[in-house]
């Protein structure tokens, strides 16, 4: 697992060069614009809702003493919840709606490393890729929320909260990497087979997603570069592991 996580991270090192070498930047303009718009939308919603959630949580404290402290803690906790949910929504929305644009990128990278036309495996249209992206990311969104809620609650326990933060980061990373890998898998596997493949190679997904998540902490530049570099890195590793499963034999 650790070896695969490191491998997923290291795949980013050659991504910028590979994108330029294959002339792939032109495919990223629409996804980059989508990424910026969705990030701005989610940030504004998060900013406006954090106070409301803080007020709602603080109302549970019915005593006068310590009310200010409880309100402050509730406001901070509300902001954290919104931030976490914002990260979750952002990545799944961007990856779902970018699927038709990332498919061609994945195909060209696959052809570069295998010398074969990816269309030999499965032909997918713009609508097919969009539907597949939405289906996979809605599924991942629901799974991620189901895992995130208990982890946040566990995080309220002193000391254990540190472990909770780490687990949240790993969960978000896994599903980010999952989405990036599926741009390649959709040409080779069915919906259920893709889930099985990613579960078998979860270290690669986590490694890819770790860098994806870290990029989001870089103002402006992170939102612009996160998709091109993460999709390229994920495609390289996915093609490599598909070869190991003899998909190209």
Q: Is the pLDDT of residue 248 over 60?
A: no
69: in domain: no
207: in domain: yes
Mean pLDDT value of segment 116-131: 70
Give CA–CA dist 155/162, Å, rounded: 7
Q: What is the pLDDT of residues 141-167, one digit of tens each?
A: 999 999 988 888 887 777 777 788 889
User: Which run of H or of E encompasses 218?
Assistant: none
Q: What share of the chain is helix, strand, coil (3-state, %, to 5)?
A: 85, 0, 15
Q: Which residue has the tokens 């270290």?
A: 203
230: in domain: yes
Give CA–CA dist 158/212, Å, rounded: 29
39: in domain: yes
Q: Is the pLDDT of residue 119 over 70?
A: no
126: in domain: yes
191-198 contacts, C-beta under 8 A, 24 or more apart: 191/132, 191/135, 191/136, 194/136, 195/139, 197/241, 197/245
Q: Is the pLDDT of residue 61 over 60?
A: no
Residue-number span of the structural domain to which 159 is assigned: 2-47+81-244
Q: How many domains does the chain have?
A: 1
Q: Is the pLDDT of residue 24 over 80?
A: yes
Which pTM value belongs to this model? Answer: 0.84
222: in domain: yes
190: in domain: yes
Give CA–CA dist 4/205, Å, rounded: 9
72: in domain: no
| C-alpha dist (Å) from residue 48 to 78, 82, 101, 141 | 11, 10, 32, 23
């Amino acid at each position: 697992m650790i070896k695969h996580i490191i491998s997923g991270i290291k795949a980013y090192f050659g991504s910028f060069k590979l994108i330029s070498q294959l002339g792939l930047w032109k495919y990223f303009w629409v996804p980059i614009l989508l990424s910026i718009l969705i990030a701005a939308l989610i940030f504004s919603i998060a900013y406006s809702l954090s106070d409301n959630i803080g007020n709602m949580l603080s109302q549970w404290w019915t005593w006068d003493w310590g009310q200010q402290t409880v309100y402050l803690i509730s406001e901070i906790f509300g902001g954290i919840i919104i931030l976490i949910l914002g990260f979750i929504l952002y990545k799944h929305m961007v990856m779902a709606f970018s699927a038709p644009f990332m498919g061609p990128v994945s195909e060209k990278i696959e052809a570069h490393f295998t010398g074969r036309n990816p269309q030999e495996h499965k032909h997918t249209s713009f609508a097919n890729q969009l539907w597949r992206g939405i289906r996979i990311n809605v599924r991942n969104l629901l799974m991620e929320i189901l895992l995130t809620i208990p982890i946040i609650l566990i995080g309220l326990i002193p000391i254990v909260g540190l472990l909770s933060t780490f687990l949240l980061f790993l969960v978000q990373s896994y599903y980010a990497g999952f989405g990036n890998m599926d741009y390649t898998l959709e040409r080779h596997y069915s919906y259920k087979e893709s889930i099985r493949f990613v579960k078998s190679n979860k270290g690669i997904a986590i490694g890819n997603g770790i860098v994806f998540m870290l990029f989001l902490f870089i103002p402006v530049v992170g939102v612009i570069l996160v998709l091109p570099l993460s999709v390229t890195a994920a495609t390289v590793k996915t093609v490599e592991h598909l070869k190991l499963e003899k998909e190209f034999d």
